[in-house]
Structure formats: structure tokens, C-alpha cells
Amino acid sequence: MVMAQLKLYPKCYWIWNHRTWCLQELESLGKANWTFELGIVSKLLEADSRNFHGWHYRRYVVQQIESKAVKEAKTPSDKALSTLKIDLDEFRYTTQKIKKNISNFSAWHNRSKLIPKIFSLIAEDPDRKTLEHDYREELALFSSPHHLLLKELEMVKNGHVYGS
């Protein structure tokens, strides 16, 4: 029922709030499927990639996925590594959305939340060797704040995303 309402009124914040409440209730019963929720919000953002409420909900869902990954991790290094992977995937997602529309301010906002988290996780020095193959481009961007800033400014200046 909530999904039907979201399809009809995707920018109505109280429907998103109700969905959040429903998922919190399911989580308390151990029945929330956060991966499924990420798929749903991804599909809704395909229809309207600038929907601020959808992006806010996506951040909430990703936060829940991160919490679950941290609980399942056995060592502090595994915790940092699993969270870093999730955040790098989200960084990729924002890059894809910005590639489609450079003025997608919701994607830029989401990115602004991710960048400090990623730098912080990299500073914890998780074993990056396991990430090198899948996240080589992203890790190169995060080699220094100055390097990332230059690439981001280049993207804005030229109206396209680096590597495209």
C-alpha cells in the first residue's frame, strides 16, 4: 500500500516517513530486508533522480545496511572495510546520477555526505589491497582532499564527470 502511494506521490515526505516507520517496525521483528529497500529506492530514483525525499530515504537505508555489516564484522578492520565498500558503492552511484545530469543537486548533496565519511574510513587504514581491484578509480580520487577537490571542480567546470 505504501509503495502504491509512493508511485503516485513520490515527493510527499510523510509517505516516506511512514515507510521508514514501517521498516523500523520490521527491523524490530528482525524482518526488514534492507537490500530489497535499496532496490526499491534505486528504482524510484530512476524515475526521478532529483527527488530529495528519495535521496534522504536512500541515505537511511544505506545507514541500516552499514549497521548490519558492522554487526556482522568480526574485527575492527573488517568493520571499517565493509563500511568503506558500501560508501564507495554509494559514491559510484552518485557519480552515475551526476553523469546523467550534472545539475542533480540531490546527488551532489548525497555525495557531500559521503566524502568526509570515506576520508575518515580510509584514515582508519583498512586493508585496501582487497579493494584495489574493484575500487581503483575511487581510491585514486581519495588519495588526498586536494586531489579530490581538483577532480570535483574539473567535473563542475567542464560539465562532465571525470573518467567519462
pLDDT at 32 > cutoff 80: yes
- pLDDT by residue (tens digit) across 125-149? 666 677 777 888 888 888 889 889 8
Alpha helices in the chain (DSSP H): 2-8, 13-28, 34-47, 52-72, 76-100, 105-123, 129-141, 145-158
* More confident site: 108 or 137: 108
Spell out the residues 6+ positions from residue 53 whose beta carbon is closer than 8 angstroms to its own: 10, 11, 12, 13, 16
pLDDT at 16 > cutoff 80: yes
Q: State residue 85's pLDDT score.
A: 94
Q: State residue 55's pLDDT score.
A: 97
- pLDDT by residue (tens digit) across 38-95? 999 999 999 999 999 999 999 999 999 999 999 999 988 888 899 999 999 999 999 9
- pLDDT by residue (tens digit) across 112-125? 999 999 999 888 76
Dihedral over alpha carbons 138, 66, 130, 75 (to 10 degrees): 140
Where exactly are the structural domains of the chain?
A: 2-158
Cell numbers 535521496: residue: 55
Distance in angstroms between the alpha carbons of the first and the last residue of the chain: 40
Architecture of domain 2-158: Alpha Horseshoe (1.25)
Q: State residue 127's pLDDT score.
A: 66
User: How far is Cα 60 from Cα 41, in angstroms, rounded to an integer?
Assistant: 11
Stretch 22-33: mean pLDDT: 96
User: How far is Cα 101 from Cα 96, in angstroms, rounded to an integer?
Assistant: 9
Q: What are phi and psi of 44, to 5 degrees?
A: -65, -35
* Band of residue 161 on the pLDDT scale cut at 50, 70, 90: low
